[in-house]
Amino acid sequence: MKPVVLKGGRIVDPSQNLDETGSVVILDGKIADAGASVLNQGAPDGAEIIDCAGLTIIPGLIDTSVHIGEPGAEHRETIASASAAAAAGGVTTIAMMPDTDPVIDDVSLVEFVLRTARDTATVNVLPTGAVTKALHGSEMTEFGLLKQAGAVFFTEGRKTIDNALVMRRALTYARDFGAVIAHETQDRDLASSGVMNEGLFASWLGLPGSPREAEAIPLERDLMLARLTGGLYHAAKISAAMSARAIRRAKDDGADVTAGVSINNLALNENDIGEYRTFFRLSPPLRAEDDRLAMIEALRDGTIDIVTSAHDPQDVDTKRLPFAEAASGAIGLETLLAVALRLHHNGDVGLLRLVEVLSTNPAKRFGIAGGTLITGAPADIAIVDLDAPWVVSEADIVSLSKNTSFEGARLQGRVMRTLVAGRTVFAQE
Amino acid sequence: MTAQAPFPPYPHRHLLGIKGLSPLDIENLLDRAEAAVAISRGADKKRATLRGRTQINLFFEASTRTQASFELAGKRLGADVMNMSVASSSVKKGETLIDTAMTLNAMRPDILIIRHSAAGAAALLAQKVGCAVVNAGDGAHEHPTQALLDALTIRRARGRIAGLTVAICGDVLHSRVARSNIVLLNALGARVRVAAPSTLLPSGIEQMGVERFARLEDALADADVVMMLRLQRERMAGAFVPSVREYFRYHGLDQAKLSHAKPDALVMHPGPMNRGVEIASAIADGPQSVIQEQVEMGVAVRMAVMEALLEGAAS
């Protein structure tokens, strides 16, 4: 493999607290050196030189909440199409949710995903394992064997484990293998038939609402169990201010907990639903503007560690329905970085911090290679024009499904090139 | 209701809800409906206003009364009316609302009347078809012709709506009738109160332009109009209220509670009634009840709405 030099860009690497103009040298798919010190060194013999003047070089994004339809719903998204969408969005590693059909609750399914990814994907695709068999919420899966086979962490995907004892045992047992349990919480009874945030807006629309407490009550339970067991817990997608407060308290208590947020809950609020726009039916639901601002604050102050796209491809057959009957979810891999950059452009969150929550932190929390430009790390890199304006258009979407919440949105910041292990897997035309 | 169309044009393509209508739009529709009352009361009840036009009633939720009212309204205006019976249709075979709509649309109707259990269904349909759409009730969202017929009933009895105190009582949480009425009555300057067990009030009700009461008697004090809402049977068995008898005790309209309202207060109900649950029979059939009048006004309002929509579509 030819050496590659990314020449003369702004290098932003939170893992080294680095933000300086410099170059990156890639040898054998790994970072050989990065920074200002290599700017004026000669390139290795026969190296491919990529001019990065005016561009920003960051470790590739690591997206830890990606739904893929393979196996079972390949018309929505395959591992190959999700990989292509990820590459277009500067995402070099995706953790794939286990709620496929069949569920990833067995070593053979983990192997299937890894094999399919090896044969068809250009970015790193990491399977996650179900916490319980068939996502039924009762019997634990084989954490040890699944982890050894390549499951990167354990989660129930969209589902919440209702039974506190099951959650306690899962946290306790997973700890023996150093495995993180990532959980999206929604109390089934309290959320009831709710399809959006409970409040005045839902009341006028005549739609059943789901209160914030439906998210926070099982979250508080989980956080208590994390304290009790010493287990590794990740609140996968929080959306409410009260959830952020709960996480903050648990962290103060020294529990081994982290929190994630969907980009949608940082960028949108319930008013975006407008007249029953089903592309804004999401899980967790879009909340009030106060909650959105609380998510940004929690991201800034370190309460929230990880931002995900919550990529969830849905077809017209599941979205072109009355709001309450439509499936929840939106795609997001291709827009994740540009939407996140809104927070940088409007001064809410610094660039280093943004890259940290999109790349460095998920790598650290889940033991994923990448998230850094340090010597020896895999050369998983996104090259970004931070200021380039563009408009999201359905026609340009790479993902097999087109259910974006950002159709027509004007974004600033474009992925120009994506490299995985030093190989260019996407380049903007 | 003459060929000269003496009424100001209706400025919208559809009637999906009261929200979005101006007070003037509402008044104009009520004026039109007033004229339609005369047609229904005459010996010759048939006009040619909508002759040659096709009206399809697409009812995904059974509703004998509303469907009959729309059917009669269309026929009195001379339209060809077709009722889509959902029970025997392909909707039950998994065809989606949109597929059904596209199929019907291809048959080139001039107006579609839709009733559906999902909020927003009428708006979704309106996006996909080329004809006028009337929302005949979508989930807990809106039921605009019901609010219009209620307003017409009140206006005919009291001569105005502005300044009246109207108490809407019962299951506001699940009621599209309540939402449409809250919007309309506020638009026309009435004072709106709601009374219900708190489990049957939607979140944020205080910001919906109403005054809320937990006690029915308090809501009725000096009220000009009492609107009772239907409480569905499945909601009475402990989920929202403990029992029918407890509900009737505290929230059913009987003579003792009604005596708190003005002596000539109107008693209304959108039907069908649960006698002995939300309303005592003696009240439903009593001198203050205008429930039958509401049914009559329903036909007139639906004639007015369809005429206004199709007049706009023609021009």
**Which tens digits make up the pLDDT trace of B80-93?**
999 986 755 555 55
- State whether residue A275 sits within 8 Å of chain B by CB: yes
Flag if B176 and A320 touch (Cβ within 8 Å): no
Task: Quickly state the pLDDT bin for B6 (edges 50, 70, 90).
Answer: confident
Give, rounded to a whole angstrom, the gap between the first and last alpha carbons of chain B. Answer: 17
**Using the beta-carbon criterion (under 8 Å), do B118 and A203 form an inter-chain contact?**
no
Judged against a pLDDT cut of 90, whether residue B236 lies above it is answered with: no
Confidence at residue B137, expressed as pLDDT on a 0 to 100 scale: 96
Report the pLDDT value the prediction gives residue B3, as an integer from 0 to 100: 46
Asked if residue B259 lies in contact with residue B224, where contact means CB atoms within 8 angstroms, the answer is no
CA dist A153 and A259 (Å) reads 14
Q: Which helix (H) or strand (E) holds A93?
A: strand A91-96
A30 by Cβ neighbours in 10 Å (0-12 / 13-18 / 19+) ranks as: middle
Nearest-10 crossing angle of helices B97-106, B121-128? 40
Q: Is B185 on the interface with A (CB under 8 A)?
A: no
- Contact partners, residue B168, CB within 8 Å, separation at least 6: B178, B181, B182, B192, B193, B194, B195, B210, B227, B229
Asked whether the predicted pLDDT for residue B2 surpasses 70, the reply is: no
Closest-CA distance of chain B to residue A317, Å: 8
Two tokens, residue B289: 């009840």
Domain ranges of chain A: 60-366
For residue A321, give the nearest of B96, B179, B205 by CB distance.
B96
Confidence of residue B239 (pLDDT cuts 50, 70, 90): confident
Contact list in A for residue B179 (CB cut-off 8 A) is: 204, 206
Assign domain A60-366 to a CATH class.
Answer: alpha beta
By C-alpha distance, the chain B residue nearest A326 is B118
Contact between A62 and A363 under an 8 Å Cβ cutoff? The reply is yes
Cross-strand pairs, A132 = A140
Nearest Cα to Cα of residue B220 among B270, B175, B177, B263: B263
Amino acid A179 reads A
pLDDT digits (tens, 9 = 90+) for B108-148: 999 999 999 999 999 999 999 999 999 999 999 999 999 99
Q: Where does A23-70 have alpha helices with state H?
A: none
Cβ separation B119–A206 shorter than 8 A: yes
Asked if residue B52 lies in contact with residue B309, where contact means CB atoms within 8 angstroms, the answer is: no
pLDDT tens, residue by residue, B211-223: 999 999 999 999 9
Q: Of A223 and B61, which is predicted with more confidence?
A: A223
Query: For position A40, what pLDDT does the model report?
Result: 79
What is the pLDDT, as a whole number, of residue B313? 74
CA distance A256 to A250: 8
Q: What is the DSSP letter of B10?
A: P
Report the residue count for chain B.
315
Q: Is B225 in CB contact (< 8 Å) with chain A?
A: no
Residue ranges in A150-283 assigned as alpha helix (H)? 164-175, 188-191, 200-205, 212-229, 241-252, 263-267
Q: Which residues of chain A have pLDDT under 50?
A: none
B121 touching chain A per CB within 8 A:
yes
Say whether B120 and A320 touch across the interface (CB within 8 A).
no
Is B171 within 8 Å of chain A by CB? Answer: no
Name B11's bridge partners: none
**pLDDT score of B91:** 56
Determine, for residues B207 and A200 on separate chains, whether the beta-carbon distance falls below 8 Å: yes
pLDDT, residue A126, reads: 98
Amino acid in position A143? F
CB contact under 8 A, B208 and A206: no
Q: Which of A208, A211, A322 sits opposite B124 (nearest CB)?
A: A322
B27, B189, B294 from B184: Cα distances, Å: 10, 9, 16
